[in-house]
Structure 1
Amino acid sequence: MATPHAVRDRATPAAPNTGVVHPLWVRITHWLNALAAIVMMLSGWRIYDASPIFPAFRFAPSITLGGWLGGALQWHFAAMWLLVFNGLVYLALNLASGRFVRKFLPVSPRAVLRDFIAALTGKLSHADLRVYNAVQKFAYLFVICDLIVLVLSGLAIWKSVQFPLLRELMGGYDNARVVHFAAMSLLAAFLAVHVAMVALVPRSLLAMLRGR
């Protein structure tokens, strides 16, 4: 009779992790969403400067897009349609393929806190990029919700008369502008943290470029 040691010796060694991390459709929609969000944010800063919510705060023209109010509006609306349609495709494919549940759920406050502490102490593993930790799950779910709020508050500002219910849900036109600004600020914070994390784990960028 073979001993347990002999059975372990004859066992097939574990194959290296060579599976696909991100399928092609995820990579395409990710980069299109990123492009649209950045264009909307930079052009939105120029639009904000034309009528600031907080008069004491303005964005430097050098970090805005559009050159003037009319140009910024054209960039903003063009990127808006890209974000809306590409975002709908991203969500639809994630839900239809079951990827949304596999990648982002379940997530709990306790798990997020645990992984957040592990990240701060340098103990959070990134060995398998196909598996999201709780902090990543929370961050991606958060930014999806934030982008939805951005689009809805933007509609309440752009088509305030045509969407009175949406405008009132935002607390009126002026409050809709505040909601839109707050959602934009949270998106900017997410992008800053996201880029920092990519710098710490550059393999994640390669995976989003080539899929592995």
Structure 2
Amino acid sequence: MNALAQPGASPRATRTIQPAWVRIAHWLNALAVVLMMLSGWRIYDASPVFRDLVIPPSITLGGWLGGALQWHFAAMWLLFGNALFYLAMNIVTGRLRAKFFPLSPRAILHDLGEALRGRLSHADPSRYNAVQRFAYLFVMVDIAVLIVSGLVIWKSVQFPLLRELLGGYDRARVVHFCAMALLAGFIVVHLAMVALVPRSLLTMIRGR
């Protein structure tokens, strides 16, 4: 007698949707990004890029410029190391190609339209739709821009080529701030999607 015929047997076998290394990298990345963002806002307030925009101290981390820099640099190494690990594992395991490609503008627009009309299916949580693929690839590139522009701000003399590619030190600060703002926007949308499809949070915790 097979398992489906036995009383009380589960009708579907559980399967791993998010492997352990993905879940670990995801939560480490979330921690690093939050720490860097909160401490970065405190650093920004010490010398604002946009004079009319100041971040409320109550939502910053570090208490003062020196403390914020310590938090920022500590989280920077966590973000950098974790990003390298995540990218390397995605390439080595073939997950990058399987999960995020193929991708086309037509597919993105189609799935975006379906999502806005509430018709986008979430029947298979192991498969990313085109909007998710684009969003996750975008945030990978955005984090890379944050790291590169951050290096220029931190060690401008040591990375002259990167500094020139970004248009100089002052422009690198603008790039860094804009990349941070885009990342903050992604986080807001990401949390909204998790609220709409809460089982996606469960798969990132349990893997199944």
- Please give the TM-score of this superposition, normalised by the length of structure 1: 0.92
Based on CA coordinates, which of the two structures has the bigger radius of gyration? Answer: 1
Aligned pairs for 1:55-66 (under 5 A) are 55-66=51-62
1:69-118 CA-to-partner distances (Å, cap 9, x unmatched) read 00000000000000000110000001000001000011100000000000
1:24-60 CA-to-partner distances (Å, cap 9, x unmatched) read 0000001001110111011000000000011111000
8 Å CA contact 1:112–1:134 kept in 2: the answer is yes
The residue matched to 2:77 in structure 1 has which SS?
Answer: helix
Q: Which residue of 1 aligns with 2:78?
A: 82
In structure 1, which of residues 89, 93, 113 is the aligned counterpart of residue 89 of structure 2? Answer: 93
Q: Distance in 1 between matches of 2:123 and 2:68?
A: 42
Q: Distance in 2 between matches of 1:135 and 1:19?
A: 24
**For the aligned residues, what is the CA RMSD?**
0.8
Q: Which residue of 2 aligns with 1:129?
A: 125
Q: Distance in 1 between matches of 2:13 and 2:190?
A: 24
Q: Which residue of 2 aligns with 1:25?
A: 21
Q: Which residue of 2 aligns with 1:113?
A: 109
The residue matched to 1:102 in structure 2 has which SS?
Answer: helix
Q: Which residue of 1 aligns with 2:204?
A: 208
Please report how far the alpha carbon of residue 67 of structure 1 lies from its aligned counterpart in structure 2 after TM superposition. Answer: 0.5
Please report how far the alpha carbon of residue 190 of structure 1 lies from its aligned counterpart in structure 2 after TM superposition. Answer: 0.2
Displacement over 6 Å in runs of 4+: none
- The number of equivalent residue pairs is 198
The one-letter code of the counterpart of 2:50 is: F
Please report how far the alpha carbon of residue 18 of structure 1 lies from its aligned counterpart in structure 2 after TM superposition. Answer: 2.5
Q: Which residue of 2 aligns with 1:44?
A: 40
The one-letter code of the counterpart of 2:139 is: V
8 Å CA contact 1:42–1:63 kept in 2: the answer is yes
The one-letter code of the counterpart of 1:50 is: A
The one-letter code of the counterpart of 2:128 is: Y
Please report how far the alpha carbon of residue 17 of structure 1 lies from its aligned counterpart in structure 2 after TM superposition. Answer: 6.3
Q: Distance in 1 between matches of 2:13 and 2:89?
A: 25
Q: Distance in 2 between matches of 1:98 and 1:61?
A: 43
- Please give the TM-score of this superposition, normalised by the length of structure 2: 0.94
Q: Distance in 1 between matches of 2:106 and 2:177?
A: 30
Matched, 1:103 2:92: no
1:176-202 CA-to-partner distances (Å, cap 9, x unmatched) read 000000000000000000000000000
5+ residue gaps, structure 1, are 1-14
8 Å CA contact 1:17–1:128 kept in 2: the answer is no
The one-letter code of the counterpart of 1:23 is: P
Q: Distance in 1 between matches of 2:94 and 2:39?
A: 35
The one-letter code of the counterpart of 1:160 is: S
Q: Distance in 1 between matches of 2:202 and 2:13?
A: 15
Q: Which residue of 2 aligns with 1:160?
A: 156
Q: Which residue of 2 aligns with 1:174?
A: 170
5+ residue gaps, structure 2, are 1-10
Q: Which residue of 2 aligns with 1:11?
A: none
Q: Distance in 1 between matches of 2:21 and 2:199?
A: 19
In structure 2, which of residues 142, 156, 171 is the aligned counterpart of residue 146 of structure 1? Answer: 142
Aligned-pair identity (%): 70
